[in-house]
Amino acid sequence: MRRLVRSFWGPRQESVEEVAARWTALLKRLGEIEPAVFGPWTGVSDFGPDPSVEVETEALAAYLRESNADDGRLDRTGYRLALHTSARQTVQVSISGSAGGLSELVPMVVVIAITAPDDSPSLPYTEILRALAESWDIDVGDVTDDDILDALEDDGLGPGDRSIGWGGYLSQRRAALLSDSGLSLPGKAEPMTHGGVLLDLSGVGTVEDLVALNRQLRATGALEPLPPPMDRRDRLGAGGPQQVGCSEAAAPGEAVNQGPRPRPTGRPFSVRDAVAAVEVLLTRPVPADGPTNREGDPDSGEWTGSFGAGFRLTRLWESRGYFGVSGPDWNAAQEESEAYLAALAAELEQRWGPHRDVSMRPYLFRSYADEPMPPLFAEICSFDLYGDLLVWGPLDTPEGQRWVAVSVSQCDEDAPHIMLAATGDSPVTEPDE
């Protein structure tokens, strides 16, 4: 059985020390709730063994600096952290999230994934959500599982849409909408320090009952996302809170770039459509062997995907071209395309947990030297797309174990950004040197 305790909030710039202090408060609080479950903690390393992580503010700040490359965008994207407990523990826990950024496109998020045997004692999930809400001053949160998420998706809920499950948290603004509606919820509703409300719905009868309850909540406006860009000063008005980072801004909805301003990349990107395309990719069989073949749009003939021995590859999104585009506009497009990838990764991490980064740099050198490489990497290199891959797996699917990778990059500075997704039947890793 797997349950997720999720939290989301809008732009809130914080220093690495402030982010580390919040992480420390959360992890220590979790350790107090269930000492045998929450800890000790291990990081996720792209190279070598996963490092042990000390739960102290100074040590966590140092780890955040080390594990987040300072590419000039940390003030926008925030600091990312991914931790897990030992695989030898009966109850396994992973935590991942991004915090401290001012991105208008990507929500700040922390997700706790807990996997336990079906016959193990239930954990106090509402208290775990309380710890998240109080540590991070969140906008909205929930306690959910795969059955609830599948049922909500069948009911029309998409990536970026918020929901509640066996538990929920609504910030002050959302709680006020619920109160004004007069809707009476089952279970317990407890006022919180920051003005929000913590919902314990563990006594609700069935998943179908929770789906119906989500419909009612959406009708009140209490689960509505704030359309991106998430600019609170424009959208909350003079009477609304003005502090950047308060917990009243919601996460983006279906289309990441539907806002009043033109986007630098020039073409819309939908997280919902991208996630759906990845899910379709996972349902398609992977050839065991044979040559690599390419697929094209029946009308335009443009490349849309490839398949070959052990892999399938598809184009998720493509921007405009940038010939003659000025430096500042080009930089803005770079940032926006990476924000789109981060938004997709955030949704996939809610399904599969933290990703691992796989560099294409070794394959770039192999391509230059005309050295052999696995068919998936050879096909990506044939398009001169060398952006780092964000990789999940192994994942259990009806087709067997699969690995999934996504990336965004250009073949040259004037060319469009292309976002790719790949699936394969073997680990997606860097070559052994």
d(Cα 145, Cα 211) in Å, to the nearest integer?
Answer: 13
Q: What is the pLDDT of residues 338-358, one digit of tens each?
A: 888 988 888 888 888 888 889
d(Cα 132, Cα 322) in Å, to the nearest integer?
Answer: 42
Mean pLDDT of the chain: 85
Contact (CB, 8 A) for 340 and 419: yes
Domain definitions of the chain by residue range? 2-235, 271-424
CA proximity to 302, closest of 312, 294, 313: 294
Q: Which of 174-188, 237-251, 287-301, 397-411 has the lowest mean pLDDT?
A: 237-251
pLDDT-derived band at 258 (thresholds 50, 70, 90) equals: very low
Q: What is the pLDDT of residues 178-197, one digit of tens each?
A: 999 999 888 899 999 878 99
Instruction: Return the SS3 of 83.
Output: strand
Own/partner long-range contacts of 214-218 (Cβ < 8 Å, ≥24 apart): 214/152, 214/155, 214/157, 214/163, 214/164, 215/155, 216/183, 217/164, 217/178, 217/183
Task: Kindly give, in sequence order, each residue whose CB lies less than 8 Å from that of residue 321, ignoring residues fewer than 6 positions away.
Answer: 414, 415, 416
d(Cα 389, Cα 38) in Å, to the nearest integer?
Answer: 30
**What mean pLDDT is predicted for residues 131-137?**
95
Q: Which of 48-57, 121-130, 366-375 has the lowest mean pLDDT?
A: 48-57
Contact (CB, 8 A) for 76 and 339: yes
Token pair belonging to 423: 């699936």
The secondary structure of residue 156, as a DSSP letter, is T
Could you tell me the pTM of the whole model?
A: 0.70
Q: Which residues pair with 397 in a beta bridge?
A: 400
Task: Kindly give, in sequence order, each residue whose CB lies less than 8 Å from that of residue 122, ignoring residues fewer than 6 positions away.
Answer: none
